[in-house]
A and B are shown apart, each in its own frame.
Chain A
Amino acid sequence: MSETKKSDTLGTDERVLEIAEEWLADSKKVALATVVATWGSAPRPVGSHLAVDEDARFVGSVSGGCIEGAVVHEALDAIAEDKARLIEFGVSNDQAWEVGLACGGTIKIYVEPVGA
Chain B
Amino acid sequence: MKRLTLNSILKSRAHKQAVVRAVGLTSHKEVLIDPLADDCPEAFRDAAQAAMMSDKSGVHAIEGEDYFLNVFNPPLRLIIVGAVHIAQPLASMAQLAGYDLTIIDPRESFASPERFPDMAISHDWPDEAVKAFGPDHRTSIVTLTHDPKIDDPALQAALNSPCFYIGALGSNKTHKARLDRLREAGFTDEQMSRINGPVGLDIGAKCPAEIAISIMAQMTEALRKGTKS
Which of A's residues lie within 8 Å of B, judged by CB?
A: 1-7, 9-10, 14, 17-18, 20-21, 24, 32, 34, 36-37, 46-47, 84, 86, 110, 112-116
Contact = CB atoms under 8 A, between A and B. Distances in A.
B28 A7 contact: no
Nearest to B16: A4
Contacts of A21: 3, 6-7, 10
Nearest to B97: A9
B57 A2 contact: no
Nearest to B101: A5
9 A-B pairs closest in CB distance:
A47-B57, A1-B122, A36-B68, A5-B120, A9-B98, A4-B100, A2-B120, A114-B1, A84-B28
Given A1-B132, A34-B70, A17 B6 contact: yes
Contacts of A115: 2-3
A72 B77 CA distance: 34
A37 B101 contact: no
A14 B73 CA distance: 11
A36 B67 CA distance: 10
Given A5-B101, A46-B57, A47-B70, 12 more contacts: A1-B122, A1-B133, A2-B102, A4-B100, A4-B102, A7-B95, A7-B101, A10-B98, A34-B68, A115-B2, A115-B3, A116-B3
Interface string B1-33: 111001101100100000000010100100000
Contacts of A14: 13
- In terms of DSSP, what is the predominant structure of the interface of chain B? mixed
Contacts, number: 85
Interface of B: 1-3, 6-7, 9-10, 13, 23, 25, 28, 56-59, 68, 70-71, 75-77, 95-102, 118-122, 124, 129, 132-133
Residue of B6, B70, B95 with highest tally of chain A CB at under 10 A = B6
A7 B102 CA distance: 11
Nearest to B91: A5
Contacts of A18: 10
B2 A110 contact: no
A17 B57 CA distance: 16
Contacts of A36: 25, 57-59, 68
A24 B5 CA distance: 13
Given A21-B6, A37-B58, A110-B25, A5 B118 contact: yes
A1 to B, nearest CB: 4
A14 B16 CA distance: 13
A20 B129 CA distance: 35
B3 A24 contact: yes
A4 B77 contact: yes
B19 to A, nearest CB: 12
B10 to A, nearest CB: 6
Given A6-B100, A7-B100, A17-B10, A116 B122 contact: no
Contacts of A86: 25
B23 A110 contact: yes
A114 to B, nearest CB: 5
B59 A37 contact: yes
Given A5-B100, A9-B96, A20 B132 contact: no
